[in-house]
């Protein structure tokens, strides 16, 4: 199978992808990904950087190299912008804060870890289906966990006193305006991939910084572990909101190459999920009442089986349940059993 754009290894060259906007590819090693795009938005006071890669010395060395090519050093970075709370997007934020006193911008809902408990907003019947057994996922499976090598790396960094989780100094929300690269950029809150995800729109230049919300050849993971009662519906709403933005000429994603037709890509991602929902319903007709894991193992290839695949399967099953196309009960072992027939 042909390699997807997002899987390509990071290139060391820095390219100007819009006026005052530099694309700096940083190496990462995560399933399905080979690089993350860090963007430097240059102005007369220095630069803001968007999504400064994974934590660790390798990323920091790559950032120094890319900035040097642009005639900059870490001390020139006055602002770090984090599109959402995943480590490949915030990893070196605190290093910039230490080196230059850079302010850190993220959505006011930024959090790293599992969502906090929220007040119930659904019926008692729905709550009975959603109660989570201690130490399990909502569907009764194993919670996704980072690989051991990543956990050991983070433990070592904490041991030497290097803070990883960013301290957000300048929280933003939908509609806020940031002055970047000498012009106005509007904050577009786009929950779905995470609850705190946001994009930036530059109407003057027709540029859209998309983070992970809209990627060129793959779709972002939509987790079932969310404070949203229907994470997939939340994602669809965010795609529709973004697809309605006019005069976008250049889309700058966090992985993969820049592209042009934002609306068409939003529609293609929605079609992908609609096809997946249809497939989930078909699997349900074949299996009868089944667990999330059983649905997941029919929906995904064996190489993808595990907590992440189950989480996305759960998000699709819950979308069907909320829409009245599936029923659910919890069995004696604590697992949710869905029926889509």
DSSP 8-50: SPPPS-EEEEETTEEEEEEEEEETTEEEEEEEEEEETTEEEEE
**pLDDT score, position 25:** 98
Q: Residue 148's pLDDT is what?
A: 52
Query: Residue 3's pLDDT is what?
Result: 77
pTM summary value: 0.88
pLDDT on residue 205 = 96
Nearest to 312 by CA among 159, 193, 180: 193
DSSP 56: S
Q: Which residues of the chain have pLDDT under 70?
A: 1-2, 113-135, 142-162
The closest of 100, 105, 62 to 82, measured between CA atoms, is: 105
- SS3 for 200? strand
Total Cβ atoms within 10 A of residue 157: 16
How confident is the model at residue 122, as a pLDDT? 25
Parallel/antiparallel/unpaired status of strands 327-330 and 14-18 = unpaired
Kindly list the distances between the CA atom of residue 1 and the CA atoms of 32, 220, 276, 298, in Å, as whole numbers in the listed order: 13, 19, 20, 20
60-111 pLDDT, tens per residue?
999 999 999 999 999 999 999 999 999 999 999 999 999 999 999 999 999 9
If you classify domain 1-110+166-260 with CATH, what class do you get?
alpha beta
Backbone angles phi and psi of 287, in degrees to 5: -85, -30
The pLDDT value recorded for residue 227 is 87
In sequence order, which residues have a C-beta less than 8 Å from that of residue 269 and are 6 or more positions away?
Answer: 214, 219, 239
Looking at residue 140, its pLDDT comes to 85
- Strands of 77-81's sheet in order across: 14-18, 21-30, 33-43, 46-50, 77-81, 103-107, 170-172
Domain 121-158+277-341 has CATH 1.10.10.10: yes
Residue extents of the structural domains in the chain: 1-110+166-260, 121-158+277-341
């Amino acid at each position: 199978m042909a390699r997807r754009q997002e899987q390509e290894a990071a290139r060391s060259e820095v390219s100007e992808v819009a006026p005052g906007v530099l694309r700096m590819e940083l190496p990462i090693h995560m399933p399905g990904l080979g690089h993350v795009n860090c963007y430097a938005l240059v102005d007369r006071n220095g630069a803001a950087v968007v999504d400064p890669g994974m934590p660790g010395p390798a990323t920091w060395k790559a950032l120094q190299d890319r900035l040097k090519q642009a005639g900059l050093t870490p001390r020139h970075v006055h602002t770090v912008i984090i599109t959402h709370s995943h480590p490949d997007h915030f990893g070196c934020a605190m290093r910039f804060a230490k080196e230059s006193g850079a302010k850190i911008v993220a959505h006011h809902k930024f959090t790293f870890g599992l969502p906090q408990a929220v007040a119930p907003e659904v019926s008692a019947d729905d709550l009975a289906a959603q109660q989570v057994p201690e130490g399990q996922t909502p569907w009764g499976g194993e919670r996704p966990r980072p690989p051991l090598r990543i956990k050991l790396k983070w433990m070592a960094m904490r041991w030497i006193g290097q803070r990883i989780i960013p301290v957000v100094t300048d929280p933003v929300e939908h509609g806020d305006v940031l002055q970047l690269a000498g012009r106005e950029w509007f904050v577009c809150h786009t929950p779905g991939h995470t609850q705190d995800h946001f994009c930036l729109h530059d109407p003057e230049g027709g540029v859209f910084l998309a983070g992970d919300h809209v990627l060129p050849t793959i779709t972002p993971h939509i987790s079932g572990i969310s404070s949203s009662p229907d994470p997939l519906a939340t994602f669809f709403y965010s795609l529709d909101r973004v697809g309605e933005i006019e005069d976008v000429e250049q889309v700058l994603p966090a992985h993969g190459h820049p592209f042009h037709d934002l609306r068409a890509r939003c529609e293609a991602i929605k079609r992908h999920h609609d096809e997946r929902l249809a497939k989930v319903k078909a699997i349900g007709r074949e299996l009868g009442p089944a667990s999330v894991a059983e649905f997941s193992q029919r929906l995904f290839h064996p190489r993808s089986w595990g907590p992440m695949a189950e989480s996305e399967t759960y998000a699709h099953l819950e979308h069907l349940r909320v829409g009245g196309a599936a029923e659910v009960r919890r069995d004696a072992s604590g697992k949710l059993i869905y029926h889509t027939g």
